[in-house]
Structure 1
């Protein structure tokens, strides 16, 4: 599988010989921990992640977009102003 940032990975049962993907950054980990099954706005994600309420949403949005790119978060746009809402992507894994 070829990704937009240029690296290539293959899907395999043994993840260690699959994708060479960097670890999540600290802010991405915080955002991932803040997401639930319910869609929430970027500003709510920011607060749940422990970021300053006075901080801009830019870093939170960047973390959400990276999680979406990795298939860990889902986004939908709502309302006339197209406010982005985010939720955790839950995947069922079948074990042999």
Structure 2
């Protein structure tokens, strides 16, 4: 479909020549959902290329995916547990410098 060309989907739209607000919002939501889905596909494809999983056997891909998911989960958990503690200690340290 060409850019800027609006395709009418039902007889009422063809006769009246316009879309209702609900139809416009539904169309925009569908386009947004398609864009998000395409972005996920693109990121997944980039991950496959970066980790060279495209060239691996299916069981090897599963091992790499499990290792990657485990590493990311451990990283997020560690950040969730320790970053607030370090921020609080840094805030206390710099607050003591300002108070003195």
TM-score over 0.5 for the alignment? Answer: no
Highest Rg: 1 or 2?
2
Greater length-normalized contact order (CA 8 Å, ≥ 6 residues apart):
1
More strand, by proportion:
1
Normalising by the residue count of structure 2, what TM-score does the alignment of the two structures yield? 0.26
Which has the larger share of helix? 2
